Amino acid sequence: MWTLVGCRGWRGRVLVPWVSGAARRPRPAPTRSADAESWVASRLYGSADVEEKFDMSRFPVENIRNFSIIAHVDHGKSTLADRLLELTGTIDKTKNNKQVLDKLQVERERGITVKAQTASLFYDFEGKQYLLNLIDTPGHVDFNYEVSRSLSACQGVLLVVDANEGIQAQTVANFFLAFEAQLSIIPVINKIDLKSADPERVEKQIEKVFDIPRNECVKISAKLGTNVESILQAVIERIPPPKVHRKNPLRALVFDSTFDRYRGVIANIALFDGVVSKGDKIVSAHNQKTYEVNEVGVLNPNEQSTNKLYAGQVGYLIAGMKNITEAQVGDTLYLHRQPVEPLPGFKSAKPMVFAGMYPVDQSEYNNLKSAVEKLTLNDSSVTVHRDSSLALGAGWRLGFLGLLHMEVFNQRLEQEYNASVIMTTPTVPYKAVLSSAKLIKEYREKEITIINPAQFPDKSKVTEYLEPVVLGTIITPDEYTREIMMLCQARRAVQKNMVFIDQNRVMLKYLFPLNEIVVDFYDSLKSLSSGYASFDYEDAGYQAAELVKMDILLNGNIVEELVTIVHKDKAHSVGKAICERLKDSLPRQLFEIAVQAAIGSKIIARETMVVILPEK
């Protein structure tokens, strides 16, 4: 079981046999010995030795389309991807085709997409065969980084909107990601089979909010397959082919990577120039190391080895990269002795939430370290800093994009690497502006970032504290507007805008302090709006704030792991709530225990745990 400090509990351990990387699905072991030998060989040596090779040269650039599916959570991205795979004959049509591209156990358990997944589809249209490279992306705000990376390999997107729920907060965020990347956008109105569906209302919303004409919307039911084939035709007609040059030297972008325990790093690449073949010697622009290509291929949706990949195509590459730091997402690969100008790559993800992670048993430290390193290869948006605690021993301070991101990372550690950890209460990164030249010289900078509350500097050492803020977008039925506004005001938010997107729905924009929304704001918002409101946010920098460090004491002793940073105006209410929660959750003893919250030497809240009297 997971042991957490100040967080929700976790399910029991689930063991997955033969998991060989985050994006690979275990196969059932065969019973016959000949089949078993073949199966083991395919696991050890890869599909290149046992799969028929595809000839990718038969697809000229003008017959290639690279597109992504983006949408708000639960609007039907993965279901639509399943239907497209069936229509193109990529997978057989069966009742079991649900979330085919969601290969992680955590994705299937939670019903969400966490990792962007790629599939190459072959489709005949008007006498020509087209290669359609599809990338299914996550919908939750925490995984926006996955979406932005995926869009770098595309020329167009399908923007899926639920015919009942209409435009939601993440729909708006994803639209602007695609718009800023100058991609062709095809709006798709899904779930028209629902009794409560109102596609005409959603068409009006799309026209008003995104300025896309109604006649460009494609109305479908991904669940039933209604009108889905028209999407493939729209992709061919409305998304341009990639602008690439096959005669130029190789230039490939690594937009994702996974780790296979038998074959090392598997890099997902988009070729912008040239050709890459098995046996080629390639160089990483990031580390200048040279590798020999062992295997290239496409995902169909499982790995299919090919002789070559050509400019404009999307596929995978295995080149004997054994060290997890060698396959940097955003890196450019080129042929040995044929250097090229590196591609722009990606902005590094900015962590929004930090938490301490420690092994339950310190003897497991090295195993957990290896697991964290391998998992951060598959999820480069997680930042890792070494940390230690008097009570918990050696560990790390990890940075995540949000709470769901943190939960998913922990769940994957347990399921894929059988790791048991202790997690501390999540916090956000604060900044402090130092007051003296001596301190600036000591820290080597005037403005320091604090990711561990225990290291929060005293007020005497700083001129001001800064807290992170985000620009939040809330879309809600107008009947809940008053309650939601009161909730936002209680979280120290400042209203920036309010727009009616149709007769019944309102889009609110607020500037929030990040620490006010990071733990339970989303749950409160859903509760107030009966589940109808949606929420998304983007980084908006830092603002000055009156912050204080609040210690939690048990019988007069400070518990470092429970130290928290709060706004001065909320210190008493937060301290009282923490003391009450600890009083109810800590095991009872045969003696009184004082649970106190303090700012400096001043006690601001106290609870006393009741003594258990021994039985006579």
- Domains observed in the chain: 3-21+348-423 (3.30.70.870), 46-238 (3.40.50.300), 251-335 (2.40.30.10), 430-545 (3.30.70.240), 547-609 (3.30.70.2570)
Q: What is the DSSP string of 515-536?
A: HHHTTTHHHHHHHHTTT--EEE
Confidence label for 452 from pLDDT (cuts 50, 70 and 90): confident
Is there a binding annotation on residue 520? Answer: no
pTM of the model: 0.74
Is there a binding annotation on residue 162? Answer: no
Matching residue, tokens 């620009």: 471
| 332-374 pLDDT tens trace | 899 998 989 888 766 666 788 888 888 888 888 999 998 888 7
List phi, psi (to 5°) of 61.
-55, -40
Helix (H, G, I), strand (E, B) or coil at 3: strand
Extract the tokens encoding 384.
Answer: 């890792």
| 276-316 pLDDT tens trace | 999 999 999 888 899 999 999 998 877 888 889 999 999 99
Average of pLDDT values for 249-260? 84
Rounded CA-CA distance 25/299 in Å is: 13
Q: Which has the higher per-residue pLDDT, 103 or 611?
A: 611
| 505-545 pLDDT tens trace | 999 999 999 999 887 888 899 889 988 888 888 889 999 99
| 145-174 pLDDT tens trace | 556 667 777 899 999 999 999 999 888 888
Alpha-carbon 488 to chain mean position: 25
For residue 78, what pLDDT is reported? 80
For residue 203, what pLDDT is reported? 95
Is there a binding annotation on residue 258? Answer: no
Is there a binding annotation on residue 281? Answer: no
Average of pLDDT values for 580-590? 82
Is there a binding annotation on residue 77? Answer: yes
Is there a binding annotation on residue 405? Answer: no
Is there a binding annotation on residue 567? Answer: no
Average of pLDDT values for 428-435? 91
Is there a binding annotation on residue 462? Answer: no
- Checking if the pLDDT of 53 tops 90, the result is no
Specify whether the CB–CB gap between 608 and 592 falls below 8 A. Answer: yes
- Checking if the pLDDT of 8 tops 50, the result is no
Is there a binding annotation on residue 600? Answer: no
Is there a binding annotation on residue 204? Answer: no
Confidence label for 16 from pLDDT (cuts 50, 70 and 90): very low
Confidence label for 566 from pLDDT (cuts 50, 70 and 90): very high
Closest CA to 267 of 218, 327, 217, 339: 327
> Which amino acid, 236?
I
Write the CB contacts of 100 (distance below 8 Å, at least 6 apart in sequence): 78, 81, 82, 85, 91, 301
> Which amino acid, 96?
N
Rounded CA-CA distance 342/232 in Å is: 33
For residue 22, what pLDDT is reported? 34
Most confident range, picked from 18-27, 45-54, 136-145, 595-604: 595-604
Specify whether the CB–CB gap between 356 and 394 falls below 8 A. Answer: no
| 213-237 pLDDT tens trace | 999 999 999 999 999 999 999 999 9
DSSP 221: B
For residue 257, what pLDDT is reported? 79
| 101-122 pLDDT tens trace | 545 555 455 555 545 578 888 9
Average pLDDT, the chain: 82
Specify whether the CB–CB gap between 277 and 296 falls below 8 A. Answer: yes
| The residue count for the chain | 616
Is there a binding annotation on residue 79? Answer: no
Rounded CA-CA distance 93/102 in Å is: 17
For residue 47, what pLDDT is reported? 39
Helix (H, G, I), strand (E, B) or coil at 291: strand
Q: Which has the higher per-residue pLDDT, 88 or 90?
A: 88
Is there a binding annotation on residue 517? Answer: no
Is there a binding annotation on residue 60? Answer: no
Average of pLDDT values for 129-149? 70
List phi, psi (to 5°) of 402.
170, 180
Is there a binding annotation on residue 385? Answer: no
Strands 251-260 and 332-335: antiparallel
For residue 613, what pLDDT is reported? 59
For residue 109, what pLDDT is reported? 53
Is there a binding annotation on residue 74? Answer: yes
Confidence label for 262 from pLDDT (cuts 50, 70 and 90): confident
Write the CB contacts of 504 (distance below 8 Å, at least 6 apart in sequence): 477, 478
Q: Is the dihedral of CA 601, 467, 385, 11 positive or negative?
A: positive
Q: Is the dihedral of CA 387, 393, 395, 397 positive or negative?
A: negative
Is there a binding annotation on residue 192? Answer: yes
Helix H or strand E segment including 122: strand 117-125
DSSP 395: E
Is there a binding annotation on residue 100? Answer: no
User: What ranges make up the beta strands (E) of 126-277?
Assistant: 128-136, 156-162, 184-190, 218-219, 251-260, 264-273, 275-277
Rounded CA-CA distance 86/503 in Å is: 38
Rama region for 333: left / alpha / beta (φ>0; ψ in -120 to 50; rest): beta
